Amino acid sequence: MKILANDGISQTGIDFLQENGFEVITVNVAQEQLVDYINDNKVSALLVRSATTARKELIDQCPGLKLIGRGGVGMDNIDVEYAKSKGLHVINTPAASSASVAELVFAHLYGGVRFLYDSNRSMPLEGETNFKGLKKAYAKGVELRGKTLGIIGFGRIGQEVAKIGLGIGMQVIATDKFIEKAAVEVALYSGKSIVEEIKTQSMESVLSQSDFISLHVPAQKNYVIDEQAFSQMKKGAALINAARGGVVDEVALVKALDSGQLSFAALDTFENEPKPEIKLLMHDKISLTPHIGAATLEAQDRIGEELAQQITTLLK
């Protein structure tokens, strides 16, 4: 049985699948050629990440497909319900990348409060000629410890973010439409752990209290953070979006940064991927990464293993 991992899969996942009798194909097939490739090669399972889409047209034209898998959490690039209605298995790996995304959030947070995103741009240009000036410009950093971290969307990733926040001494508050409370376990390297119960609050409460806000919501039709939401935030707050593109009104975001309502923002996802707006890319108060939340070696190993285990269970 053939499996096409069109956006790649870890060697760990390949090894697991091959040991269970599957043939794994890792060539990257262009979207417009995907239907013919699947049919010509009698592919039974298609694995994608964020680059490849599996829409109704592909599902209809590939009757031999038995499974579509997404290496990651969000499945907005797959017509999930339609695929299921046609008898296909649709799987993803919701837990595998949570820790990696959470660590990226704090990479952006630490970078933001210490101006690393901007100083890394300025030092190569002015470090030799204006060292003292840059030192003065970046001398008003703040600590995360003791500040309030607001988490919008308190599922697996949101709770992983909470663990780090609690571990460094932040007050953590959260809002979620479906979760009333969660017992967040902060695991120590020694094997011991500390458990903190966090009860979710209203969106308005989280917006108004937080020094820093991190988004962990699925893709949706309307903005989660729009102009009204920015106006409800503390003046000088910061926003991190390592969730999905399109959940933040990017025009309103730039306006909030320019007015000083926000001190900085960090974006790993964008409305117009893979061509983010130039105003975002050039803004000196935005820390930027190209949708790499799950892009750690450890997360990719976990994703590959989790996909391989599910495929083996469902198809063998």
Cite the active site residues.
244, 273, 291
Give the HSE-up count for residue 49: Cα atoms under 13 Å, Cβ half-sphere.
19
HEC readout, the chain: CEEEECCCCCHHHHHHHHHCCCEEECCCCCHHHHHHHHHHCCEEEEEECCCCCECHHHHHHCCCCCEEEECCCCCCCECHHHHHHCCCEEEECCCCCHHHHHHHHHHHHHHHHCCHHHHHHHHHHHCCCCHHHHHHHCCCCCCCCCCEEEEECCCHHHHHHHHHHHHCCCEEEEECCCCCEEEEEEECCCCCEEEEEEECCCHHHHHHHCCEEEECCCCCCCCCECHHHHHHCCCCEEEEECCCCCCECHHHHHHHHHHCCEEEEEECCCCCCCCCCHHHHCCCCEEECCCCCCCCHHHHHHHHHHHHHHHHHHHC
